[in-house]
C-alpha cells in the first residue's frame, strides 16, 4: 500500500483525524457547557438545594470543580489545535505534496502546543497543591516521553523545512 496520494495510508489516517477532530469539537463544547454550569453553581449554590451533592463538603469544592473543568477544556482545546494541524498536514500528504511550506509552520505549532500542554500540567498541579493542600499528595513527575516528543516534532519541522527548500531549488532548475 502506498504512503502518499489518494487511496493511501495517509488518506486513511486523514479520515481518522477528521473523525477525532469532530469528536474533539463536541467534547470541547460539552466541557465548556459544564464549566458554565459549574460557574453558575459556584455563584448560586442554592440552585442545588434539592440535590444531595450540594450539601456538606462537596458544595465547598465547586470552585475546584470549576477550575478542573476549565483546565480540562483548555487541554482539549490544545489537543484540538494539534489534531487540526495534523489534518492539514495529512491533507498535503494525501495530495502527494509532503514538503508543502505550510507543514513546517504546522509542525512548529504542534511542538509549541505540546510543550504548553506539558507546562500546563505542571501549572495545574501547582495550583491544585496551593488551593487544595490536603488533596494533592504526590509530586508531578517530569514526563521524558512528552519532552522527547516535543523535540522530535521540532526536528521533524526542520526536516520538512529542508525538504521544502530542496523542492524550491529543484523547481528553479531547468
CA separation for the pair 67, 31 (Å, rounded): 12
Indicate whether 24 and 87 sit together in one domain.
Answer: yes
pTM, entire model:
0.80
Which structural domain range is residue 31 located in?
A: 1-96
Mean pLDDT by 10 residues, the chain (174 residues): 78 92 93 83 62 51 74 91 95 88 94 95 83 71 90 95 89 77
Please give the pLDDT value at position 54: 47
Do residues 12 and 66 both lie within one domain?
A: yes
Q: Work out the end-to-end distance of the chain between its first and last CA atoms, rounded to an integer number of angstroms.
A: 33
- Tell me what pLDDT residue 45 has: 61
Contact present, 80 and 21 (Cβ < 8 Å)? yes
- Domains held by the chain: number: 2
Whether residues 7 and 52 share a domain: the answer is yes
Phi and psi at residue 71, to the nearest 5°: -65, -40
Cell 478542573 locates to 68
Read out DSSP for the chain? --SSSTTSHHHHHHHHHHHHHHHHHHHHHHHHHHHHHHHHHHH-GGGGTTSGGGSTTGGGGHHHHHHHHHHHHHHHHHHHHHHHHHHHHHHHHHTT-TT-HHHHHHHHHHHHHHHHHHHHHHHHHHHHHHH-TTT--SPPPP-HHHHHHHHHHHHHHHHHHHHHHHHHHHHH--
Answer yes or no: do 105 and 147 share one domain: yes
Give, in order, the Cα–Cα distances in Å from 174 to each of 26, 99, 100.
50, 20, 21
Structure confidence at residue 50 (pLDDT):
53
User: Pick from 96, 119, 145: which residue ends a domain?
Assistant: 96
Residues 54 and 109 in one domain: no
> 92 with 30, same domain?
yes
Amino acid at each position: 500500500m502506498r504512503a502518499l496520494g489518494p487511496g493511501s495510508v495517509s488518506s486513511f489516517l486523514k479520515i481518522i483525524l477528521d473523525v477525532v477532530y469532530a469528536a474533539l469539537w463536541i467534547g470541547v463544547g460539552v466541557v465548556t457547557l459544564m464549566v458554565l454550569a459549574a460557574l453558575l453553581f459556584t455563584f448560586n449554590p442554592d440552585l442545588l438545594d434539592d440535590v444531595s451533592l450540594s450539601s456538606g463538603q462537596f458544595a465547598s469544592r465547586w470552585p475546584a470543580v470549576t477550575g478542573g473543568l476549565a483546565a480540562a477544556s483548555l487541554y482539549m482545546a490544545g489537543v484540538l489545535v494539534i489534531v487540526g494541524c495534523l489534518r492539514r498536514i495529512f491533507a498535503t500528504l494525501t495530495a502527494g505534496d509532503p514538503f508543502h511550506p505550510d507543514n513546517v509552520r504546522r509542525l512548529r505549532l504542534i511542538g509549541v502546543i505540546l510543550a504548553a500542554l506539558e507546562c500546563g500540567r505542571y501549572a495545574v498541579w501547582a495550583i491544585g497543591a496551593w488551593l487544595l493542600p490536603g488533596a494533592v499528595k504526590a509530586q508531578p513527575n517530569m514526563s521524558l516521553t512528552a519532552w522527547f516528543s516535543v523535540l522530535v516534532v521540532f526536528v521533524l519541522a526542520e526536516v520538512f523545512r529542508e525538504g521544502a527548500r530542496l523542492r524550491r531549488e529543484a523547481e528553479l532548475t531547468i
